[in-house]
C-alpha cells in the first residue's frame, strides 16, 4: 500500500507541475501577443492622427484656393 501511495503522490506532483507550467507558458504567450497588438494599434492610431491633420491642412488650402480664385475673378471683371 505504501508503494501505491508514493506513486500516487509522485503522479500528483508531476500533474500539478505540468499544469502550472502550461498555465504560466500560455499566460506569457498571451501577454506577449497583447503587447505586440498594442504596438500595432499605437502605430495605426499615429497614422490616423497624421492623416486627420493632413486632411485639415488640405481643407484650409482648398478654401484659400477658392478665395484666391474668387479674387482673380473679381479682378478680371474690373479690367473688362
Distance separating alpha carbons of residues 32 and 13, to the nearest angstrom: 28
Distance separating alpha carbons of residues 25 and 18, to the nearest angstrom: 10
What's the pLDDT tens digit per position in 1-18? 799 999 999 999 999 999
Distance separating alpha carbons of residues 63 and 73, to the nearest angstrom: 15
Q: Whole-model pTM above 0.75?
A: no
Residue 80 has pLDDT above 80, yes or no: no
Higher pLDDT, 41 or 74: 41
What's the pLDDT tens digit per position in 17-33? 999 999 999 999 999 99
Amino acid at each position: 500500500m505504501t508503494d501505491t501511495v508514493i506513486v500516487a503522490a509522485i503522479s500528483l506532483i508531476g500533474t500539478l507541475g505540468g499544469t502550472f507550467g502550461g498555465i504560466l507558458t500560455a499566460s506569457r504567450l498571451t501577454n506577449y501577443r497583447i503587447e505586440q497588438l498594442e504596438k500595432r494599434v499605437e502605430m495605426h492610431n499615429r497614422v490616423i492622427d497624421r492623416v486627420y491633420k493632413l486632411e485639415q491642412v488640405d481643407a484650409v488650402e482648398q478654401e484659400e484656393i477658392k478665395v484666391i480664385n474668387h479674387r482673380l475673378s473679381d479682378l478680371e471683371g474690373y479690367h473688362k
